[in-house]
């Protein structure tokens, strides 16, 4: 079985402090964080802190993307170009990406190789479906723009 990361072994309050410190420092200053942890009696390498920082940064990025997608979904504006569908697709893509990252980060022994292949196969099928939906959405948006431009052009011709 794979070894747990040294950061996962930290008490929860120390991990939460580290997450805040990483966020506030813009995911930098690993040497200083290593020193601060050492002063508290925790021996954590800056490489381990960096790996953890990357993981947290990816998670925050996914949260930001999901928040933006949710904002687009709840806008009260007209949806002529199907912006809500685009937001849903973006949200699903973000979720799939995050799942793939977590699967890749799973240490040896955490996920059975057969199960890993099955999961990746399902993801690949879903990505293909999602890609088709995205292409169809882009085509629809292009058609809407073309119709709007044609209507504007026709309206301009009919004005005295």
Domain boundaries of the chain, sorted by first residue: 13-74, 80-160
Nearest to 34 by CA among 16, 47, 17: 47
Alpha carbon distance 160, 114 (integer Å): 71
Nearest to 139 by CA among 68, 91, 82: 82
pLDDT for 42 equals 94
Alpha carbon distance 119, 102 (integer Å): 12
Cα dihedral 149→150→155→158 (10° resolution): 140
Name the pTM for this structure. Answer: 0.48
* Local structure of 112: helix, strand or coil: coil
Between CA 16 and CA 22, with CA 21 as vertex, the angle to 5 degrees is 100
Which backbone phi and psi does 100 adopt, to 5 degrees? -65, -45
Q: What pLDDT tens digit does each residue of the chain (160 aa) get?
A: 456 788 988 999 999 999 999 999 998 999 999 999 999 999 999 999 999 999 888 888 877 877 777 676 666 545 555 666 777 777 777 777 777 777 777 766 677 878 878 887 887 787 788 778 878 888 887 888 888 888 888 876 666 5
């Amino acid at each position: 079985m794979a070894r747990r990361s040294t950061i996962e072994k930290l008490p929860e309050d120390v991990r939460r402090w580290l997450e805040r410190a990483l966020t506030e420092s813009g995911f930098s200053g690993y040497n200083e964080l290593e020193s601060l942890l050492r002063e508290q009696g925790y021996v954590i390498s800056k490489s381990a802190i960096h790996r953890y920082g990357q993981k947290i940064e990816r998670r925050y990025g996914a949260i930001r993307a999901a928040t933006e997608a949710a904002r687009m979904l709840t806008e009260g504006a007209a949806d002529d170009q199907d912006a809500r569908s685009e937001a849903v697709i973006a949200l699903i893509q973000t979720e799939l990406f995050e799942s793939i990252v977590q699967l890749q980060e799973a240490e040896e022994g955490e996920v059975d190789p057969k199960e890993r292949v099955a999961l990746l196969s399902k993801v690949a099928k879903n990505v293909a479906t999602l890609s088709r939906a995205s292409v169809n959405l882009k085509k629809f948006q292009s058609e809407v723009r073309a119709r709007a431009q044609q209507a504007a052009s026709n309206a301009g011709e009919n004005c005295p």
